[in-house]
Amino acid sequence: MAADGSLKPHWFYILLALAEGDRHGLGIARAVQTLSDGRVRLWPATLYGSLDELRQRKWIEELSRRRDQLEDESERKRYYRLTRAGRQILTAEADHLGRLARLARARLRADPGEVG
Amino acid sequence: MSAARRGYRGLLLLAPRELRREHSVEMEELFLEHLAAAHAAGTLARAAVWTRAASDLVRARLGSWKPRRRLVLTVPIDERKGPMLGPDLHYALRSLGRQRGATALVVFMLALGIAANVGVFTLVNGLFLRPFPFPHPERLVYINETAPRWNLNVVGINYPDFDRWRKDMKLFEAIALYETGRYNLSDGASADRVPGVRVTYDFARVLGVSPILGRFFTAEEDAPRPRAVAGGSAASPRPVAQVIVISESLWSERFGRAQDVIGKTLRVEGEPRTVIGVMPAAAAFPDDVRLWLPTNGDPTREGDSYSGDGIGRLKPGVSVADAEKDLTRAHQPIWDTRDKQRNVSPFVHSLREEFVRDYKTAASTIVAAVAILLIIACANVAAVMLARALARRREMGIRLALGSSRIRLLRQLLIENLILALVGGVIGLAAGQWAIGAFVAMIPEELPRWAVFQMDLRVVAFSLLSIVATVILFGWAPALHAVGGDLRSAVHTSTNGTTGAPRGRRTLAFIVGAEFALAAVLLVCGTLLVKAFDRVRSVDPGFRSDHLLTFTVPLPDPPSAAQPRFAEWLAFWDQLNERTRQLPGVDAAGLVSCAPFGGCHLGNFLNAENAIPRPDGKNPVILTRVATPGYFEALGSRLKEGRFLQEPDGRDKRVPVVIVNESFVRAMWGEGAKGAGRRVKFNGDDSPWMTVVGVVGDVKHYGLERPMRPGIYLPAASWPQSTMTMAVHTQVDPASLAPAIREMVRAMNPELPLVALRTMEESIRRSMALRAAFSWMLAVFAALAFVLAVGGAYGVATYLVTQRTREIGIRVALGARTPDIFRSVVASGLGIVAAGVACGLVGSAAVAKLLGDALFGVSPHDAAVLTFVAVVLVGTALMANGLPARRAARIDPMRTLRTE
């Protein structure tokens, strides 16, 4: 958890990427890049370190067999799936961010001159 | 594989191991994608990708360390007074776990010291402390006769003397004679030579062991056997059947533990005997024994014939000294009649004493050496712990401030030390047992059979005691310095400060000095022993020991035969000689009754014509051997005068000839005398005079280290023997002839066993086995002590340098130059070492004297050895101090003064 109690940004994006469906590591990285409009680039150690940590917390799980056999040949590709707990966390975080966003918009409309 | 992929693989080494193991391939793929994306953007972008990738990995690595790096302040919050084992234990374990390297080193050194001590103690326990497996073993004594005037400490027992003692003794429950030997056991098709013992009928009672089947001998079965009288008159006593008692192992092997073994027949020395009992394995005394025969001793036999040993069981409460007086009193009539000059007298020893006499010096030396090793190991541990303790003074100060008490801190330190000692002790115990197993496997024949080297209660208790001792030995230093003194100010200084260090430094210096002193003592003793071993090995045995093969053939000599089969024996020996000489590769061969390094001895007294008067009235015992022609040539004896034995010698009884050795000539006729042509004879008025026809050089018959006595060789033709040893000189590798020799003897008589077929070099090596084991064990301990001491010095020097970093930085900033710094660091370290080594050398001179006989041909003050040890120790100490000193001299004052 980040200092203010919300989910670390990396983790949020990874969970988000998995919400659309099971992916392997490389796929997650690409999805995150798309989802964040190119702003968030996951580097290998960070990505796989986070995946391991998320797996330890049981927010994602690793699939024992590749689902999509057309995708690639390498046996090393591991597929990940969002767990129910992970889905709940993601939803909670999305709600939280949504509230923050509404709050920010409300403040900005009220005081256009202040930065808030 | 592309260069980029390879490069990233290299970078991956920065990543934490688990990450790398699980995901390396995928990480490579991701990286390459990023790189490909940046490819279009130009070189700078590509460089940025590499940099980002590297920092990504480094950050992951740092992150993986974070949980362990949490320093000091996780102290037990609950600083209540009073014993709290749980949290204390937890804290101790955590604190040890934080410095795995140091902890592992400490445990290793402790395990080493304790393993060595446990191993040696198991040896000592098996040899000296564990009681014999007989009931009330403390009441068992060894009995024999001594004749100092004949130059013999132990003569053997004369049967009539023994009979007299048995009749008159008062303080013994029972006494018995025993004489070990090897006996031909045959069943028609093959022959075995088994170890057995001739005993008087009371033997089992003395030991306190009962047969598991059948019974032991009766007094009648042990009665003297008359040589068969022609015609067999009615007045001769009813002949008693020949009996034998066998061991449990023999019963298993030959009879399959069948219950009906009693009454079965075995042929011993060609003679049938009836099995009347089976003894349990525990009765194996003095050594491996597989059969017991009665002595059939004759108390009325005239003359002095001394052989064998005696054993007795004292009545409860009788001391060994009283027992000896009792026997002496019973022996008095013999002095009054047969031995008016009191040449021979009985003596009594405790049984254990008798059997470990040979090992005493060796055992005490090893025990001392290993204790010293443990002290050095503990000193090293103390130094390591002290360094750690000094570094933890800040932590201790904080805890004191948080409300802990010094007692509590001390207690927790003690628990840490105990944990270390326990872990080290357990590992050491296991390692020690393994080492003992290896050692026993190395020299199996030299150790007595009854010695059991196993972990018993005593060994475990000793190990625990050692553990406690080590804790005390190494725990005092760190405890004192961690918890004593002004702790509160320690909170304020950085860990690299020198506050509180002067006491610690002095203690460390003392520890290093003491280690070097002890290591010096061990090294000197070890080197001296190795040198002595080398001296023994290079002693000239007096003959040509290479390309020499020996074996012994025992012809059957049953006591019930009317007359010993002399003619048969002579014919056999002649044939054996001839056939052996015809074997391919044989240069020379000949027989002797008792070969060098064979452990045999037969002594006699001789009179020499015109002998010089003896200064102290002592009549020397002459080693008497019987030989055939060819023996001297085969052995490579050195002819000093006259000639070797030849074929006609001994065949014509009218011209008795003998060969003597140089010691004989010297003893009988003085230095520089000539022996050839002189005459000698055995005691007894009707013994014929024999002429000396040759003098040979002395042969080290009893061992390379033992002195040789005067010896005489009689021609075999006049003195037929039933057992002789063949010496074969070969052109080829002597061991290669073994199969041919076995086949030859088997062809001559399949019922004859071939005994002790080995090369002379092997025999000589065996005679030195104990000394070799002892010397090399000590050398190993000395080397270990040396390594520990030098390692300790290096560790301490390094630590002291890091302690003085700030001071050195200031000095450099003030203008000191590199050589000055180097010199000052080395000088302070070396001074201590030199003082320690000097003390050690002085001490070693005294200690080495205790080694006594073990130092063969080497003086305890050997200057070469002392110099060698001094140079080695100081030299390595120089290096051990020099390396950290070099590092000290390169200290950048800017950096050290800045990091505070």
pLDDT per position as a tens digit, B440-487:
777 666 666 666 777 777 877 887 787 788 777 777 777 777 666 666
Q: What are phi and psi of B15, to 5 degrees?
A: -75, 155
In chain A, count H helices and then E strands: 4, 3
Residue B294, pLDDT above cutoff 60: yes
Chain-chain contact of A46 with B34 (C-beta, under 8 angstroms): no
Neighbouring C-beta atoms of residue B17, cutoff 10 Å: 10
The two structure tokens encoding residue B689: 């005079």
Minimal Cβ distance to B15: which of A30, A45, A47: A45
Picking from B611, B631, B618, the residue whose alpha carbon sits closest to that of residue B714 is B631
Residue B172: the pLDDT is: 93
Mean pLDDT of B656-666: 93
Alpha-carbon distance values, B359 to B99, B352, B443, B798, B821 (Å): 44, 11, 14, 43, 53
Picking from B55, B61, B10, the residue whose alpha carbon sits closest to that of residue A43 is B55
Q: Does B56 touch chain A (CB under 8 A)?
A: yes
Residue A115: the pLDDT is: 47
Contacts of A74 in chain B (CB under 8 A): 25
Alpha-carbon distance values, B132 to B127, B352, B462, B779 (Å): 10, 8, 20, 31
Where b means 16+ CB within 10 Å and e means fewer, B172-209 reads bbbbbbbbbebbbbbeeeebebbbbbbbbbbbbbbbbb
Whether B603 contacts B624, CB under 8 Å:
yes
Task: Kindly give, in sequence order, each residue whose CB lies less than 8 Å from that of residue B811, ignoring residues fewer than 6 positions away.
Answer: B821
Residue A3: the pLDDT is: 41
Where b means 16+ CB within 10 Å and e means fewer, B364-395 reads ebbbbbbbbbbbbbbbbbbbbbbbbbbbbbbb
Contacts of B52 in chain A (CB under 8 A): 43
Q: How far is B3 from chain A, CA to nearest CA, in Å? A: 18
Q: Please, what is the average pLDDT of chain B? A: 82
Minimal Cβ distance to B60: which of A49, A77, A78: A49
CA-based nearest residue in chain A for residue B8: A44
Q: How would you write B237-265 as a 3-class SS string?
A: CCCCCCEEEEEHHHHHHHHCCCHHHCCCE
Contacts of B34 in chain A (CB under 8 A): 41, 43
Residue B805, pLDDT above cutoff 90: no
* Whole-angstrom Cα Rg for chain B: 38
Instruction: Find where tokens 């966003």 sit.
Output: A101
Could you tell me whether strands B690-696 and B657-661 are parallel, antiparallel, or unpaired per DSSP bridges? Answer: parallel
Picking from B663, B698, B708, B657, the residue whose alpha carbon sits closest to that of residue B680 is B657
Mean pLDDT of B864-873: 91
Q: Does B712 touch chain A (CB under 8 A)?
A: no
List, as ranges, residues 355-374 from B with C-beta within 8 Å of A.
none
C-alpha angle B872-B874-B878 in degrees, rounded to nearest 5? 115
E strands, B29-97, are none
With residue B113 as reference, give the H or E element that holds it. Answer: helix B100-124
Contacts of B25 in chain A (CB under 8 A): 74, 76
Q: Does B15 touch chain A (CB under 8 A)?
A: yes
CA B209 to chain centre: 30
Residue B138 identity (one-letter amino acid): E
Neighbouring C-beta atoms of residue B314, cutoff 10 Å: 23
Classify burial at B603, counting beta carbons within 10 Å of its beta carbon; exposed 0-12, middle 13-18, buried 19 or more.
Answer: middle
Q: Does A76 touch chain B (CB under 8 A)?
A: yes
Residue B583 identity (one-letter amino acid): L
Residue B77: the pLDDT is: 46
Q: Does B22 touch chain A (CB under 8 A)?
A: yes
**How does pLDDT run across A18-71, given as a tens digit for each residue?**
998 888 888 999 999 888 888 888 898 889 989 988 988 889 998 876 555 544
ipTM comes to 0.81
Q: Does A8 touch chain B (CB under 8 A)?
A: no
Whether A11 contacts A46, CB under 8 Å:
no
C-alpha angle A101-A103-A104 in degrees, rounded to nearest 5? 65
Q: Does B26 touch chain A (CB under 8 A)?
A: yes
Q: What is the DSSP string of B785-830?
A: HHHHHHHHHHHHHHHHHHHTHHHHHHHHHTT--HHHHHHHHHHHHH
CA-based nearest residue in chain A for residue B49: A43
CA distance B470 to B855: 32
CA-based nearest residue in chain B for residue A29: B30
Q: How far is A93 from chain B, CA to nearest CA, in Å? A: 25
Contacts of A77 in chain B (CB under 8 A): 26
CA-based nearest residue in chain A for residue B32: A44
Q: Does B19 touch chain A (CB under 8 A)?
A: yes
Q: How far is A49 from chain B, CA to nearest CA, in Å? A: 7
Whether B896 contacts B809, CB under 8 Å:
yes
Residue B498: the pLDDT is: 47
Q: What are phi and psi of B185, to 5 degrees?
A: -120, 120
CA-based nearest residue in chain A for residue B11: A45
E strands, B689-744, are 690-696, 711-715, 723-730
Instruction: Work out the percent of chain B whose per-residue pLDDT is above 90.
Output: 20
Does this model's pTM top 0.80? My answer is: no
Q: Does A62 touch chain B (CB under 8 A)?
A: no
CA distance B571 to B222: 33
DSSP conformational letter for B132: P
Whether B162 contacts B369, CB under 8 Å:
no
Residue B325: the pLDDT is: 92
Residue B573 identity (one-letter amino acid): W
Chain-chain contact of B31 with A29 (C-beta, under 8 angstroms): no
Contacts of B29 in chain A (CB under 8 A): 26
Chain-chain contact of A26 with B59 (C-beta, under 8 angstroms): no
Whether B365 contacts B101, CB under 8 Å:
no
Instruction: Find where tokens 């130009």 sit.
Output: B42
Classify burial at B18, counting beta carbons within 10 Å of its beta carbon; exposed 0-12, middle 13-18, buried 19 or more.
Answer: exposed
Q: What are phi and psi of B293, to 5 degrees?
A: -125, 150
Please tell me the number of Cα atoms within 13 Å of B724 on its side-chain side: 26
pLDDT-derived band of residue B739, with 50, 70 and 90 as boundaries?
confident
Among B9, B22, B23, B49, the residue to mutate for chain A (most A Cβ within 10 A):
B23
Among A47, A48, A51, A75, the residue to mutate for chain B (most B Cβ within 10 A):
A48
Chain-chain contact of A44 with B52 (C-beta, under 8 angstroms): no
The two structure tokens encoding residue A112: 């256009």
Contacts of A48 in chain B (CB under 8 A): 19, 22-23, 26-27
Residue B328: the pLDDT is: 92
